[in-house]
Structure 1
């Protein structure tokens, strides 16, 4: 989004931004925080689960302390209603987003992208009151010296911060300092984003002193040497592969591929099954595994021989794959020759590399690839593939980003695919890529819904980007 690649360290948090659809302007993709406090009892009964991971990217000491303390209480005293209540209170004060247990309680599923909740980071402590010249806050919680407040959401260019100097009681009044250019509008949400209470500061100081006393550990230099695999000697024929959602009378030069799905179960074109390349989706949920295994078996019985897996584990559908042409697809996100070498041992015959690579990466990869390589050279590549979607989103209408970029959504099987209204297109580089060693050039065909017009713009993706 906005020409930025999240996998290249350039994420600008497009999921947290405001989008417009029809007359609605909402944060349609902003998720709540996952909170599995409801699963503590169950997890404790599973001996194979030996540790719990608590996410905390870009969080402060306050969040870490409160969250870890809460889950420690749940671990040790989860059966005590009073202690559980105390733990949940600690989580509510951890300055994270509102929590959700998503579908981990089947009897009480929750949509984590419900627009009914605010999803700004931090604890909502009130809204701006007063006049433009003298805005103030009446906090819902007491504010301590050193607390950091954020006015508005992070994606709003005018948002600002205020540091609390003196104690402010719950229901008191704190006059906000706004920038000279922009004053927050009345009703603007105010979030408590960081707290450095004295007890926590003292604890951190004590830990720092203990660390200073400990001798510095000496780590010997690594003796690991990378041995890159040799380049594949298989001289495969150069081909274009056009991939469609459903069979039709579309004529394309080169090879033809079809996404394997329930919709084409009884529409597999006779006489062409053995020549088609059958693409498996990037995500197959446990509840759908049996159905896809049946689809694979039907295809094999009818003579299908070419398959593209978009997750390496999908090889399990085939048992011992004999005389089959099995390729790893672009959603496997294969980006280096060592990963390709692992795929050799699994029985793969070729790899369609990750579309997240840049020019230098693409040209370097064939030099040490033990398998023939393919690349997505044009077509509609999704922003994301998701199992969930806000109930307020109409999949037949485009969504417009703050930068004026359009996106559109289609549901295939159990997942929603979110596409930009411009194509990935590095077809002008095909000759260079062919000389470098690529022999399969993939074109993904995905007609947009009515009312969505594809924009003409460079679709180079990360071609000109390097790793940070």
Structure 2
């Protein structure tokens, strides 16, 4: 299953023999930095793919804000009528609702951003009407097998085999949004995890959170024997056609001829030519796990070609600086080079204009408005146009052109049916803690459900507390959390908060219980709230990353009583990874001198800033808007981490694109 961020990448996937291609439209795509596709453009490409027995999946996998359902519904309606893709890939429950309302004829695939991480979540997905679940990249082969054994009939699984790794768990990262309104959940991530960070006052800047690329390569073959796994997914919708062509070719070889030494050797050679980052198997083999974060390596994509030289010469009596490098590889016209790394101010992408032989010299022109590259700066080949691939793409382009002119995009008159808003309730206050604190709380108590701590629970306390499940539950943790929740229920607990919608499936006995969808569910529109209501939820928390206008508008649209996080530590993200040498509960500094720290809770590492989310100055506005519960999150601060007086309003006063 191949990625395509533009037309050449789409055609490269077909030329390489992909069985399926996934891509995004100009809107509601989680890779908005890719070129993406228009409806009319895609209609012809989809016909070409179907003629070659390749399926087409459209990723509409961003969160919808309160004002988005109508535009998303019209787009989905046109997509269904003019393109008829085989499936849409979604993370937002509101798009599941819109697919139902528009009569979408294809399958619904739940994105890895939807965060389905344990067996019960798959049963909930099937009940929702999904045909496929895209599994997290953090899973081991044994965990994939566990999920496959829990997979209900009619539901398929999709597994990433190659491509970029995010440091944080998909759907559980607010890093880019928290630092400046560019939401990864809305397709706008600026990848702050790729930057340089330092530990301690004298620590050197290192890439403490930047992951290598996932590459299962020869290890992918055991997945063929795992029932319900129907697709090997290659990540890379921001990559060029060269990458797409070579990775698809490699994994087709591994699938069809990977049992021969020649097939494996050729496939690995193709992957070496794909111009990705340094590769890792990550945690796929539990008996031989690899650290996906390697502080000793740079993690920029591309093939290293050499370093820059600066020479000063005189021309007309004036000094002129020439910048050049000697290439370790042959360069072709149209090849793309990357100078430096993305967090360096002189970083840029350069197109090669002429043929350069191996060990030949290429002179670079200065660019107005950009700092001059320094001597010693690294140069990488990130995309290329070898003749064989160029001919294959050109031939397919001729077929597309011969199919006729682009059709006009027919307007859609679709308007979604929105749910009736719930009656307003009087606002109450809650405090969420890890353990029962001493002294008074601000409102009713809520506790994180920690299975190990339940044996110390005072008698009759279970019924007095609201119990919060964690944002991520991994496969081998599922039984413990299900048993702990059942034990609490038998002790009188009635009030539970699920921090992924699918966690409600951990409660086979729901009579007399109350369920809220927690803030980690990323709920941001009325149609998603309507789906939660149908699943059995009685209330929900709004996503705290929404800006003020959306936070204040949502309660009047919500079919459920709506809550919000008012104050407390909110994580930049949750990760299953930790680089060697990174110290827990100790400060790390960003290039902007911001302080972050990491805490391990269960199998996850929570990355926190040293300032709190604090919307308390807007408490009166939030109460007036109709929020029925305002939550304070109380966490223990590490002794070594200083408190910042930075105002943590998240995106309150920003425009979330």
TM-score normalised to the size of structure 1?
0.92
Q: CA RMSD in A?
A: 2.3
Partner of 1:5: 182
In the alignment, structure 1 residue 337 sits paired with structure 2 residue 515: no
Q: 2: CA distance between counterparts of 1:272 and 1:419? A: 30
Q: What SS is found at the alignment partner of 1:319?
A: coil
Q: 1:162 Cα deviation (Å)?
A: 4.3
How many pairs were matched up?
Answer: 466
For structure 2, list consecutive stretches of 5 or more residues without a partner in the other structure.
1-175, 313-320
Residue from 169, 182, 185 that aligns with 2:375: 185
In the alignment, structure 1 residue 20 sits paired with structure 2 residue 195: no
Is the CA contact 1:247–1:268 (under 8 Å) kept in the aligned structure 2?
no
Q: 1:383 Cα deviation (Å)?
A: 0.4
User: Which runs of at least 4 in structure 1 moved beyond 6 Å after TM superposition?
Assistant: none
Q: 2: CA distance between counterparts of 1:222 and 1:42? A: 46
Q: 1:467 Cα deviation (Å)?
A: 4.2
In the alignment, structure 1 residue 279 sits paired with structure 2 residue 468: yes
Residue from 619, 629, 632 that aligns with 1:440: 629
Is the CA contact 1:40–1:78 (under 8 Å) kept in the aligned structure 2?
no
Q: Deviations over 1:286-331 (max 9, x none)?
A: 0111111222122222222221110112112221312222111001
Q: 1: CA distance between counterparts of 2:439 and 2:597? A: 23
Q: 2: CA distance between counterparts of 1:265 and 1:231? A: 37
Residue from 437, 441, 449 that aligns with 1:260: 449
Q: 1:169 Cα deviation (Å)?
A: 3.8
In the alignment, structure 1 residue 158 sits paired with structure 2 residue 346: yes
In the alignment, structure 1 residue 362 sits paired with structure 2 residue 563: no
Is the CA contact 2:218–2:258 (under 8 Å) kept in the aligned structure 1?
no
Q: 2: CA distance between counterparts of 1:156 and 1:171? A: 26
Q: 1: CA distance between counterparts of 2:226 and 2:244? A: 25
In the alignment, structure 1 residue 144 sits paired with structure 2 residue 329: no
Q: 1:398 Cα deviation (Å)?
A: 0.8
Q: 1:136 Cα deviation (Å)?
A: 4.6
Q: 2: CA distance between counterparts of 1:391 and 1:297? A: 37
Moved more, 305-314 or 119-128: 119-128
Q: 2: CA distance between counterparts of 1:222 and 1:135? A: 53
User: Per the alignment, do residues 47 and 256 of structure 1 end up closer, same or farther by CA in structure 2, a change over 3 Å counting?
Assistant: closer
Partner of 1:465: 654
Q: 2: CA distance between counterparts of 1:60 and 1:268? A: 56
Alignment of 1:69-468 (within 5 A): 69-128=249-308, 136-175=324-363, 181-186=371-376, 188-215=377-404, 216=406, 222=412, 224-233=414-423, 235-468=424-657
Q: 2: CA distance between counterparts of 1:43 and 1:414? A: 24
Q: 1:171 Cα deviation (Å)?
A: 4.0
In the alignment, structure 1 residue 59 sits paired with structure 2 residue 239: yes
Q: 1:226 Cα deviation (Å)?
A: 1.2
Larger helix fraction of residues: 2
Q: 2: CA distance between counterparts of 1:50 and 1:12? A: 32
Q: Deviations over 1:192-236 (max 9, x none)?
A: 112122332222222222111113457665464311111113x54
Partner of 2:218: 38
Q: Deviations over 1:47-100 (max 9, x none)?
A: 633333322222112112222222222222222221221121111111111222
User: Per the alignment, do residues 365 and 162 of structure 1 end up closer, same or farther by CA in structure 2, a change over 3 Å counting?
Assistant: closer
Q: 1:409 Cα deviation (Å)?
A: 0.8
Q: What SS is found at the alignment partner of 1:155?
A: coil
Is the CA contact 1:247–1:267 (under 8 Å) kept in the aligned structure 2?
no
Q: 1: CA distance between counterparts of 2:516 and 2:635? A: 21
Q: What SS is found at the alignment partner of 1:441?
A: strand
Is the CA contact 2:613–2:648 (under 8 Å) kept in the aligned structure 1?
yes
Q: Deviations over 1:160-197 (max 9, x none)?
A: 444444444444444555669534233x3221112122
Q: 1: CA distance between counterparts of 2:286 and 2:223? A: 16
TM-score normalised to the size of structure 2?
0.67
Q: What SS is found at the alignment partner of 1:431?
A: helix
Q: 1: CA distance between counterparts of 2:498 and 2:334? A: 53
Q: 1:9 Cα deviation (Å)?
A: 4.8
By relative contact order (CA 8 Å, sep 6+), the higher-ranking structure is 2
